[in-house]
A = this chain, B = another copy of it.
Amino acid sequence: MPGNSIGQMFRVTTFGESHGVAIGGVIDGCPPGIELNEAIIQRQLDRRKPGSNRYTTARREADAVRILSGVFEGKTTGTPIGIVIENTDQRSRDYSNIMHTYRPGHADITYDAKYGFRDYRGGGRSSARETAVRVAAGAIAMQVLSQQGIEIRAAMTQMGSIQAQQYDWQAVNDNPFFFPDTQQLDALDALIRELKKAGDSVGAKIQVEAHGVPAGWGEPVFDRLDADLAHSLMSINAVKAVAIGDGFDVVSQRGSEHRDEITPQGFVSNHAGGVLGGISTSQPIVAHIALKPTSSISVPGRSITAQGEACEVVTKGRHDPCVGIRAVPIAEAMMAITLLDHYLRQRGQNAEVSQPWQFS
């Protein structure tokens, strides 16, 4: 209810501020008997780690996860999994410049409005640092889903005006942009350099997919699979839009064009993005998200102080010119968390049900 948990049957609760002692969380509802250890989680964490390449922030956190409970002799026990990641790189610094001013595009002003005051060191709770815990939870969810033959993958498909023209999913994890079109890596590199020079930033678009999800997951009418995905993906820092399947393109489509026809071998197309009536169809689940440009830039901007007086703000420090890059593993994690939740819900509710038809 206070908003730091997500999921019903598979429930993830996070805590922690960017410059506090540690971040962490509780992953509750993981079925028992699943192989799990710190290395499995660490593998995902390392993908979103700051400082992992020169295109993202230079801040270096070990991001070393500790599993405190819920795992015994290498397997989950069914009890809650407590995890902690210490904040090792909390440089002692002078916050006086942001302490009493509101950085435009940041949550400084809204946290003050909501809570009356805030932890002004870095982004506090609003920092993307919190998402490390989500990635850890997602890694656990993927362990369970992979046993069901489900694979989740994501890629950055656009940065600024540079769009992927080709989708080579093999290439995605081999370049620092998680970009599926290797022809444009030089252009991306040039854009990042230009932005760093200008002290500016740019937005990005991410595509995230799940393959192998059977038909029948999702709870009408409010907790539709797509509605829950919209919730979980929009909860990622900086995300401003979520689309399922053809997304906003459906506005100009005709019904005869949009509907995915069905044959005994399966669906002919996937405009729906794998969800009909809020329930999975067995097509791949496909979602797209838009991430706004990083708000922490060194281009001066007008703002006000906590006393309501005009001031100018320049954000110094180590920041990604494009937060979208690091959001790729986060998007995968959120999709995994939401899918596992719906798998367990479906299993509880309709365990004894079998669908009439099978594709050949």
Contact = CB atoms under 8 A, between A and B. Distances in A.
B240 A246 contact: yes
Contact of A242 (B5, B217, B241): B241
Contact of A302 (B112, B216, B263, B299): B263
Interface string A71-97: 010010111111010000000000000
Contact of A110 (B216, B295, B348): B216
A205 interface: yes
Nearest to A131: B221
Contacts of A308: 264, 356-360
A20 B72 CA distance: 9
Given A15-B80, A110-B279, A248-B290, 10 more contacts: A3-B28, A20-B72, A21-B68, A22-B68, A107-B276, A112-B355, A159-B251, A227-B230, A240-B243, A255-B296
Contacts of A235: 221-224, 227, 278
A29 interface: yes
Contacts of A184: none
Contacts of A333: none
A68 B125 CA distance: 12
Q: How many copies does the complex hold?
A: 4
Interface stretch (A46-54, A57-65, A166-174, A195-203): A195-203
Contacts of A149: none
Interface string A296-323: 1101011111111110000000000000
Contact of A68 (B3, B20, B119, B355): B20
Interface in A219-237: 219-224, 226-235, 237
A215 interface: yes
Contacts of A4: 26, 28, 79-80, 219-222
A241 B106 CA distance: 25
A250 interface: yes
A202 B119 CA distance: 49
Contact of A124 (B8, B77, B81, B290): B77
A67 interface: yes
A202 B253 contact: yes
Interface in A1-38: 1-11, 13-17, 20-26, 28-29, 31-33
30 contacts: A1-B11, A1-B345, A2-B28, A13-B26, A15-B82, A17-B72, A20-B72, A22-B68, A32-B117, A77-B124, A79-B220, A104-B262, A107-B276, A107-B278, A110-B275, A110-B279, A111-B277, A113-B280, A114-B355, A116-B350, A221-B235, A241-B243, A241-B247, A247-B248, A250-B292, A251-B291, A255-B293, A255-B296, A262-B304, A307-B357
B204 A251 contact: yes
B126 A220 contact: yes
Interface residues of A, number: 169
Contact of A345 (B214, B301, B348, B350): B348
A104 B263 CA distance: 10
Contacts of A25: 26, 82
B22 A240 contact: no
A138 interface: no
B260 A348 contact: no
A113 B259 contact: no
Contact of A202 (B10, B243, B254, B277): B254
